Chain A
Amino acid sequence: EDQVTQSPEALRLQEGESSSLNCSYTVSGLRGLFWYRQDPGKGPEFLFTLYSAGEEKEKERLKATLTKKESFLHITAPKPEDSATYLCAVQAFPQGNLIFGKGTKLSVKP
């Protein structure tokens, strides 16, 4: 069964304290892995799509990486405005629907 597990469930950081969020997955064949950001009371906002092991993508203070079993979302020198819930999802071959993890709630204190 295709599955996505995110850890930790919640993460509290001080402003400037870098860290990583983990997304572990089991899927019959990976078509793509997606990262979303969700602010309270809003819909998920697309961040990245990763397609194959070894791939990396960056956006401002965020960098997403992918291996054959997991993905990491690295946050460098976070700011309070980075506080949000980060969701990971996978899509299986050939054209499967997205399977979402439960998310990691990130809080960055000034």
Chain B
Amino acid sequence: NAGVTQTPKFQVLKTGQSMTLQCAQDMNHNSMYWYRQDPGMGLRLIYYSASEGTTDKGEVPNGYNVSRLNKREFSLRLESAAPSQTSVYFCSTTGSRVIHTQYFGPGTRLTVL
């Protein structure tokens, strides 16, 4: 039972390159989230998926796209990476539509040069 897994753990991109961050959960949770964490900024919500087949924008969606592939998997895509997207990215899940106690993955540290 791995909980929430994220791949890759580290990634270095050049400006303009694209990549997809992967997140998978084996908790049978309906809702999944993508956050970014920057020094002095706290966790900020990028996109979320309340259930399979739905996605919605969070606080900072510009420059990102997401895909809820199935109930287990939620991916985050950077189409044309920019240095401002250098950050640590976390995926999380919750099994409740009412109380959003979230469980986080280990994170992906992304550097855009």
Which residue numbers of A lie inside 8 Å of B, CB to CB?
31-32, 34, 36, 41-46, 49, 51, 87, 89, 91, 95, 97-98, 100-103
Contact = CB atoms under 8 A, between A and B. Distances in A.
Contacts of A87: 42-43
Contact of A91 (B4, B90, B99, B106): B99
A98 B98 CA distance: 12
Nearest to A49: B101
A97 B58 contact: yes
A82 to B, nearest CB: 19
Contacts of B48: 97
Max chain A C-beta neighbours (<10 A), residue from B41, B101, B105 = B101
Interface in B64-103: 90, 92, 97-103
Interface residues of B, number: 23
Contact of A44 (B40, B41, B45, B104): B104
26 contacts: A31-B98, A31-B99, A32-B100, A32-B101, A34-B101, A34-B102, A36-B104, A42-B106, A42-B107, A43-B4, A43-B104, A43-B107, A44-B43, A44-B90, A44-B104, A46-B101, A46-B102, A87-B43, A89-B43, A91-B99, A95-B98, A95-B100, A97-B45, A97-B58, A97-B100, A100-B44
Contacts, number: 53
Contacts of A91: 99-100
B5 to A, nearest CB: 11
Given A95-B98, A97-B48, 16 more contacts: A31-B98, A31-B99, A31-B100, A43-B90, A43-B106, A44-B90, A46-B101, A46-B103, A49-B99, A51-B99, A87-B42, A91-B99, A97-B33, A100-B42, A100-B44, A102-B42
Contacts of B4: 43
Nearest to B40: A102
Given A42-B106, A42-B107, A43-B106, A98 B100 contact: yes
B42 A101 contact: yes
